[in-house]
Chain A
């Protein structure tokens, strides 16, 4: 059985690379998407176990993607980890997201968190 899919929606290539390595270390298949519209396109055909979602994206904003995921029954099991640099967004997104992480998010932080999610049997 192949590893579950983690979709990394992040326009900063460095952050995306680090997230990707962290999730690989936690034994996920990873895929990086750099724009909001591509992300929405991809989400219509895949069912990722985890979505790491940046809030400031080109074309379609992070909150809109979050709303899309939450409205789609097929994606009900998908865990959404929000990555934002804006501390004031933490409170507003807390309800809808499974996890809200304040940037900068380190490799070990994301690796440990996602590993814990797998071990808890959620994914």
Chain B
């Protein structure tokens, strides 16, 4: 019902002010039309029961019919053509109705005179506020004409009074129009703001969404209740289940089928403290190796509103890592085994297992042994380097005596030093504890490397090994020589792998170029520090400072 009424009242117009006026006119038309119909009905009934005379009734019926026709025409014009013209015609019709609604004397100076206020008020509402004044002028003119025709004095005070009515109508209509205009401006601004914000949001969301959808890392966001509220396509592929199945699940449900119980525990712990202690773990997820990284999601005020979990496929990397490890281990075995066999057989020959040897034969065997040992050392250096790089070098800490360690090294390297006329000396300070804690084998390796280096680069003089305590919490190993020294510009890179001070000396001083690099990396692994002080032509001192671990 309301819909039909609304449809009847509705007018097609893009100007809201015009639409409002025309709708108003429609209401008036329908209202007046209804009243006219009621009058027509009442007149017919009154006529039938003989309350009015025939002539009066006929007049009323004609009047009503004319009014109805007029209203219909105006309605059609208003609805399909021009609101302005319709309003004008309506006002005209209204005025004519009022003018003919009663006897002329009643119209100009009696009971019907007040009715003229209706078109005056209507004019300001239907057309423009100021039209009420023109309407008043026209009506006053009409009243005057009618009055003069029936030889009456025009009712000047009333006519002026209509101007007051016009003034009130003008004020009211104008205020209404202004209020409506203000309201429309506010609405327009609001609409614009909403549109801008919507646009921004859409852009931001669009960007985030695009990023989320295109990255190959799987992303899931869990709310504070632990339920997934965001899941990108990559995570669906990684975890092998559709994104809409992931949404609404908690992490336990996601892991239940594909992850071992201990790994499940690791991941739940990770999520619980939101990656505070360690931001990511690598676990087996079904047939994949995934790294799982966790970070809290915060709103603008810094409040934690959820947890973002990023899954990355490490299956290939893990496989490469495993292959690399297998390769290093195989190579290490395959390289060392024949060298060890060569050394073993040469040793057997030297020890005269197969009969006594001539001096020349002995000398040759000695050369075989020296060269094989050199190669074995290089292989060992390379494998150590590979192991350190892979982060798989581990220390085995035991108790040992510093004096024993230095004696051992002196035993091995002393002969070598003597052969080229160098003196290898050592001193262990009294305040160094009798037993130290550390990886004896690796410390031995460090010392052999440093002493070997010192011997290699010293033509004459001595190499001195010193063990002392630089302070209460540390102990130190220092290897000094009287050799050629390291130029200042080279001191920064002597510890780099595969670097030797001058490539032209490499041939003269053979080696893998890894010795010092391994020394440095082993020292770092032991939480120690290695330093070099050197002056060209005077010699070098390499110092290893290590924390004193209570035994």
Contact B341 A18 (CB under 8 A): yes
Among B333, B338, B347, B353, contact of A106 (Cβ-Cβ < 8 Å) = B347
Q: Is A41 an interface residue (CB 8 A)?
A: no
- B428-460 at interface with A (beta carbon < 8 Å): 441
Contact A85 B336 (CB under 8 A): yes
Contacts between the two chains (Cβ within 8 Å), count? 48
Q: Is B343 an interface residue (CB 8 A)?
A: yes
- A9-52 at interface with B (beta carbon < 8 Å): 12, 14-15, 18, 21-22, 25
Residues of B within 8 A of A21 (CB): 348, 353
Task: Type the 1/0 row for A80-123, where 1 means its CB is closer than 8 Å to any CB of B.
Answer: 00000101100100000000000110111001000000000000
Contact A91 B398 (CB under 8 A): yes
Bound complex: CA of A109 vs CA of B347, how far in Å? 10
Contact B343 A106 (CB under 8 A): yes
Contact A25 B353 (CB under 8 A): yes
Contact B441 A15 (CB under 8 A): no
Residues of B within 8 A of A107 (CB): 344, 347-348, 351, 353
Q: A88: shortest Cβ distance to chain B, in Å?
A: 6
Q: Is B394 an interface residue (CB 8 A)?
A: yes
Residues of A within 8 A of B394 (CB): 88
Q: B172: shortest Cβ distance to chain A, in Å?
A: 101
Contact B337 A25 (CB under 8 A): no
Residues of A within 8 A of B333 (CB): 85
Q: A73: shortest Cβ distance to chain B, in Å?
A: 33
Interface of B is mostly: helix
Residues of A within 8 A of B338 (CB): 14
Contact B353 A104 (CB under 8 A): no
Q: B380: shortest Cβ distance to chain A, in Å?
A: 11
Contact A104 B398 (CB under 8 A): no
Known: A88-B396, A103-B340. A108 touches B347 (CB 8 A): yes
Closest-by-CB residue of A relative to B342 is: A14
Contact A108 B441 (CB under 8 A): no
Q: B299: shortest Cβ distance to chain A, in Å?
A: 51
Closest-by-CB residue of A relative to B353 is: A21
Residues of B within 8 A of A14 (CB): 337-338, 340-341, 344-345
Known: A21-B353, A25-B351, A111-B351. A106 touches B337 (CB 8 A): no
Q: A47: shortest Cβ distance to chain B, in Å?
A: 27
Bound complex: CA of A14 vs CA of B394, how far in Å? 30
Q: B393: shortest Cβ distance to chain A, in Å?
A: 11
Bound complex: CA of A18 vs CA of B376, how far in Å? 18
Closest-by-CB residue of B relative to A106 is: B347
Q: B526: shortest Cβ distance to chain A, in Å?
A: 16
Bound complex: CA of A22 vs CA of B345, how far in Å? 11
Known: A85-B336, A104-B343. A91 touches B351 (CB 8 A): no
Closest-by-CB residue of A relative to B441 is: A87
Residues of A within 8 A of B339 (CB): 104
Q: B425: shortest Cβ distance to chain A, in Å?
A: 28
Bound complex: CA of A107 vs CA of B342, how far in Å? 11
Residues of A within 8 A of B348 (CB): 18, 21-22, 107
- B330-382 at interface with A (beta carbon < 8 Å): 333, 336-341, 343-345, 347-348, 351, 353, 376
Q: A15-B341, A104-B339, A107-B348 are in contact. List 19 more A-B contacts (CB 8 A).
A: A14-B337, A14-B340, A14-B341, A14-B345, A15-B337, A18-B348, A21-B348, A25-B353, A85-B336, A87-B396, A88-B394, A88-B396, A91-B396, A104-B336, A104-B340, A106-B344, A107-B351, A107-B353, A108-B347
Selected A-B contacts with CB under 8 Å, 27 pairs: A14-B338, A14-B341, A14-B344, A15-B337, A15-B340, A15-B341, A15-B344, A18-B348, A21-B348, A21-B353, A22-B348, A25-B351, A25-B353, A85-B333, A85-B336, A87-B396, A88-B394, A88-B396, A91-B396, A91-B398, A103-B340, A104-B339, A104-B343, A106-B343, A107-B348, A107-B353, A108-B351
